[in-house]
Structure 1
Amino acid sequence: MTAATNTATSEKLLATILSSLQDVKAEEIVQIDLRGKTEIGDYMVICSGRSTRQVASISEKLAQTVKDEFGFTAKMEGKETGDWVLIDTGDVIVHVFRPEVREFYQLEKMWQPMDGPESAAN
């Protein structure tokens, strides 16, 4: 954890990210609480953009918002292709997908609780 993320609680970071995604018209925004499940971060946010251009634009604007609000640069991968962009802010990991790519990878299912309704039926 960097000094910048120490000053910004993961909850403040999450709230800013969710607000930014809503402002730029990201679709199907899902937040997943990772606390106690993994060391990669406290939260994961998954959302969609309608096109490669919108996915790249959502990602750029989100990274700029994090820099403006919290004073650090988020790591970003995948912006060049615009199919799936990962933005790592330290405590919050954000995935921005084109809908077809999101459906293919189904990250939300990977992080569902094992004691949820689907596992109880098996």
Structure 2
Amino acid sequence: MPTLLELAYNAVDDKKGEDIVVLNMEGVSLIADHFMICHANSERQVQAIAKEVADQAAEAGYHVKRMEGYDLARWVLVDLGDVVVHVFHKDERGYYNLEKLWGDAPMLNMADEK
């Protein structure tokens, strides 16, 4: 059975999330163990990715703590507890630049682990 992080990564990848970055937040933030950041090219795709992450997590028995920003679909946050998934519209991702904001957090290469 995949870990929560693997499950979230696969859900994002299945819905063609682009430029997926996983940050190891352990020791950097108390919010979560991992942040996953990706983007999509349309509001509909942003919503599809966020919904797939939430649906797959729920199906696997994980509790989806909250989902924010779904209706506007510019930046959707899916809080799974230990993993927080940030799904951006491509136009918003560079503006918020979470990768730089959390630059102290090491990046994980999930693609190699697939």
Question: Which structure would you say has the larger Rg?
Answer: 1
Secondary structure class of the residue paired with 1:31: strand
**Given the two structures, how large is their TM-score scaled by the length of structure 1?**
0.81
- Give the counterpart letter for 2:19 in structure 1: E
1:66 aligns with 2:82: no
Give the corresponding residue for 1:45. 36
Unaligned runs of 5+ in 2: 106-114
Identical-pair percentage: 36
* Structure 1 residue 70: Cα displacement: 2.2
Contact 2:64–2:79 (8 Å) recurs in 1: no
In 1, the alpha carbon distance for the partners of 2:101 and 2:62 equals 32
In 2, the alpha carbon distance for the partners of 1:23 and 1:74 equals 22
Tell me how large the CA RMSD over aligned residues is. Answer: 1.7
Contact 1:63–1:74 (8 Å) recurs in 2: no
In 2, the alpha carbon distance for the partners of 1:58 and 1:105 equals 19
Bigger helix share: 1
Unaligned runs of 5+ in 1: 1-7, 115-122
Shifted more, 70-79 versus 31-40: the winner is 70-79
Determine which structure has greater relative contact order: mean sequence separation of CA pairs < 8 Å that are 6+ residues apart, divided by chain length.
2
Bigger strand share: 2
Give the corresponding residue for 2:3. 12
